[in-house]
Each structure stands twice: as structure tokens, then as C-alpha cells.
Amino acid sequence: MKNTHLKTTILLGLALVILAACGGESLKSAISGKIEGAEGQTIYLERYVNNRGVITDSTVIGPDGKFLLKPSQPLEKNFYRIMLGERDYLVLIADSTETVKITAKAGELAQSAKVEGSENTAILRDFESSYNDFAKRMEETVAKTKIPGLTEEEMARYRQEMTDLRKELSDHVRHWLESNSSTPAAIAAVQLLDIRTDLKAYQQVVKDLESAFGSIPHYKQLKQKVDFAVNGGNVQGEPVEDPRSMPQQKVEGVSISIGKQAPEIAQVDPDGKTRKLSDLKGKVVLLDFWASWCGPCRRENPAVVQAYNEYNKDGFEIFSVSLDKDKAKWLEAIAQDGLKWPTHVSDLQGWNSKAAADYGVHSIPFPVLLDRDGKVIAYGPNVRGPMLEAHLKQIFGR
């Protein structure tokens, strides 16, 4: 697990962005500051819509490193981010009445930034700092597992070490939420917990944020996730007799329909071989849109691996479509998460992926479950976590 994964996780897999608004004649709700080493570069203010970045404002940084972002229209209460490049960005949570000032170094915005004028950003960054400690320790443990010539006993010890770290992190998050569940940073923090075992923590955050932050899109997404877990997600492990009888949650913008043939996908795998979705006809297929930088995707991967291990011998396959741009990061994530099925493809175009456009994918992870004829059984939230297991139990009769 890398610090870049931390950003994506903290940003809800959801990559979060800066919150600010435009004021009148004063600098209230403007975002200003100085970034060392960024003279002459363009700095962007970006918000997210369905986990896709939308540029709201931009300006050229002056020769002294100073900048001022003051959008022409007031920004809605939300998460936003400041960007110098795709990998160099800083998450802020601010209020439209605040004046945010940033001092940082180019190339390491998130690590070096000093942010003044935003209490909620300070809370988020404090939590992010504590999470970084866990992320570093986890990364070190993963590196140990890759040492050549390890014995089974040593591998078992390192796996247990990782399990203990995850438990320690979960305990830390629960403790942090006891004092911070009414801050918007809690939207990011709580999603480091498994909703199947920590549903009460999710419900507390939803309750405590509703009055002050209920209009934030990420809050609405979190509430939808909690409602789904309570009403149809089988969180408590109760049997689901027939998941296909459940109402399919509509996902805005998708270009597929239940019972219809899934559009063909033909992209290359890491070795340059063209793989087609139709090649898996005759199998039950999980078509999985994901990316190495997507925190929620990476957290979902253990459940996908478990499903593959359990049902592959029965005729279950996975066709993974990555929205990565960096091939090395893509391959690294496949190895780290143990995604051992052979059908991994990507055109390395990120959100410009043709396959994502064909399926109307606007946020990830976006799973689509297909029957043996290549027709859509279910998609989106109805195929995540325990719902995937419920579908497969129904299909394969065990």
C-alpha cells in the first residue's frame, strides 16, 4: 500500500477536492498562497462529479510563487482539491465564509502544505497524517513478503503482521471517530472500516453530519451506501434468498440494462495480447472496472479474489478493465492485491477509456455481473461485497 493509495483512500476512492467559494470585494472564500518551485505553472481548482474531476477555476502562478483563485461563481459546499498536475494535488475542506491560505512546495503539495483558515481541512490533514504512519508500516510489511526465498513460516508471519496492522488501523479509526464524527473528514475516515462489521460507525457519521453537511455530494453517496447496507446489503450475514429478486439500484449515466447483451470489449492485456469479453462466453463473468489509484477498488479486491477462489472451478471468471494511465502502477496493484486471473486489460487512457464510455462508467469500482450468454444480471452496488457472494451462491447453487 503506498501513500498515493492513501490519498485515494482518504479521498473516498473517491478522490476529494478543495472547498471554497467566491466572495464580494474582500478575499473571503478565496484561495491564495505561495508554492515554491511552481512559478509560471497553472494551478487548478477542481471538484468531483461522480468521482470524475471537473475543473472549476485556474490561474497562472506568479514569478514570486504566489497565486489567487477566486471563482466567478460561488462554490457549493463540497470537497475540492488544488492541482498542479495529475499526481501533485492537495485536498481541502473549507467553508464559503473562510479565507484559505496555502504555503507549499511544488511536487509535494500534500506532504509539504501548510493550510491556514480552514478548520475542517486541519482536521482532515491531522487524520491523514496519522493514517500515513499506518500506510508506511503496511508498505514495509508488503515489501517483506516479496523477499526471495521466504519460507512458508515467514510468509505466514508477515501475513499475520499485516492482519494485525489492519486491526490496529481499524481501532484507530473507531477511536478517532468518537471525537470527530460530526466533521466532514469523517466521510473519508469511516470508509476505511468495513461496513459489514462497522455499520454502527457509518450510521453515526451519517447522523452527525446530516444537518450541517447533508448537501455535500460525498455525504449523499455515503448515506446511500449505508441505506443500501441496511436495506439490501446483507450486512449482518443474513441469508439472501434470491438477489435477482431485489430491485436493481439505478446508477446514473450507465449505458447498460438488466437482461441486455453487454457491449463487447476488446483491449490488450499487460503482454500486449488482445483480450475480448466475448471470449469468456459460456462462463459467468464479473466485468470489473477499477484502477490502481482507486482506494475503494483496492478495498473491494479481497472480496473479488475470494469469490474467484471459491467459484472459478464452477465456471466463474473475472474480466478486469483498468482505468489506469501508468502501466507500472497497474501491474504493481495486480501483484499486490493477488488478482491472479489472466484477463486484465487496459488502454491506459484513464477516464477516457473507450470501454468505460461504452458502459457509461462515471465512478469506480463499477462491477457488472454477466450470465453465460453475456447478458447483464446486475451491476453497480448490487454486485459489490456480500451481494456478489449472494448472486454467485444463487447461480451456482451453493
> CA 236, 237, 238 angle in degrees (round to 5)?
95
For residue 230, pLDDT over 90 is answered with no
DSSP 348: S
Peptide bond into 342 cis (omega under 30): no
Residue 307, amino acid: A
Model-level pTM? 0.57
pLDDT band at 10 (very low <50, low <70, confident <90, very high): very low
Distance of CA 348 to the CA centre of its chain: 18
Look up cell 490519498; give the residue: 7
**pLDDT tens digits along 287-339:** 999 999 888 888 888 889 989 998 999 999 999 999 999 999 999 999 999 99
Instruction: Please give the residue that has the higher pLDDT: either 163 or 398.
Output: 163
**pLDDT tens digits along 203-221:** 999 999 999 888 887 788 7
Q: Using alpha carbons, list the distances in angstroms from residue 321 to 46, 184, 259, 315, 366.
A: 26, 32, 21, 20, 10
pLDDT band at 53 (very low <50, low <70, confident <90, very high): low
Instruction: Please give the residue that has the higher pLDDT: either 247 or 282.
Output: 282
**pLDDT tens digits along 84-134:** 976 788 988 877 778 889 999 999 998 899 999 888 899 999 998 888 888
**pLDDT tens digits along 343-390:** 999 999 998 899 998 888 877 889 999 999 999 888 887 787 777 887
Q: Say if residues 224 and 119 touch (Cβ distance below 8 Å).
A: no
Cα–Cα distance for residue pair 312/323, rounded to 1 Å: 24
- The pLDDT value given to residue 254: 57
Residue 153, amino acid: E
Where do the domains of the chain lie, and which CATH numbers do they carry?
3-117 (2.60.40.1120), 122-231 (1.20.1050), 246-396 (3.40.30.10)
Instruction: Give kind and range of the element (H or E) at residue 284.
Output: strand 284-290
Instruction: Give kind and range of the element (H or E) at residue 319.
Output: strand 316-322
DSSP per residue, 171-207: HHHHHHHHHHTTSTHHHHHHTTS-TTT-HHHHHHHHH
Cα–Cα distance for residue pair 80/19, rounded to 1 Å: 5
pLDDT band at 48 (very low <50, low <70, confident <90, very high): low
